[in-house]
Amino acid sequence: MTTPLVLDTHALIWYMGASSRLSAVAQSAIQSAIQNRMPVYVSAVSMVEIAYLSEKKRLSAELFDQVVHVLKQGNHGLVEIPFTVAMAETLRTIPVTVVPELPDRMIAATALHLNLPLVTCDHEIRAASMVVTIW
C-alpha cells in the first residue's frame, strides 16, 4: 500500500536532480506516492539546508529556486511542511547520541510526529529504528 512520505534533504536533492545516488527503492517509493496522489513532504528544514549549502557553493542556487517553484506549483506531489512546536516536542524523544546532527533530528522528528516513513540514506537515522525509513 502506498503511503505519504517525508523526504530528507539528500533524498530531495537527489530526487530533484534525477541522481543515481537515490536508491531504486527510494525512487520507487517516491514515484508510487506521487502517482497515487499521496503527499511527499518536504520539510522547511531541508529548504534551509539547501539555502545554506548554496551559499557555501556546495549546491547551485538554481536548485533552491527549482524546489521552491515545484512546491509553489503544487501539482508535482511535493508538499511543503513547516517545523512546528509539536515536532520540536517529538524531537526530544530522539536522543542526540543517536542522531547528533540537528537538521537530521528535525527531519526525523517530522516523520515521527506525522507517523510517516522517512526517505533517507542517513545511517544514524536508519539505525535508530524509532523512525520507519525507506532506502
Task: Supply the CATH number for residue 26's domain.
Answer: 3.40.50.1010
Q: Exposed, middle or buried, 98 (CB in 10 Å: 0-12/13-18/19+)?
A: middle
User: What domain range is 103 assigned to?
Assistant: 5-134
Give tens-digit pLDDT for 82-122.
Answer: 999 999 999 999 999 999 999 999 999 999 999 999 999 99
Q: How many domains does the chain have?
A: 1
Residues 4-42 as b/e (b if ≥16 CB within 10 A, e otherwise) read bbbbbbbbbbbbbeeeeebeeebbebbeebbeeebbbbb
Cell numbers standing for residue 51: 539555502
* CA–CA distance, 129 with 107 (Å, rounded to integer): 15
Give tens-digit pLDDT for 1-49.
Answer: 689 999 999 999 999 999 999 999 999 999 999 999 999 999 999 999 9
The model carries a pTM of: 0.94
Q: Tell me, what DSSP letter sits at residue 21?
A: T
pLDDT interval class at 65 (50, 70, 90): very high
Determine contact, residues 11/22, Cβ cutoff 8 Å: yes
* CA–CA distance, 135 with 127 (Å, rounded to integer): 12
Give me the pLDDT at residue 1, please: 65
Determine contact, residues 47/68, Cβ cutoff 8 Å: yes
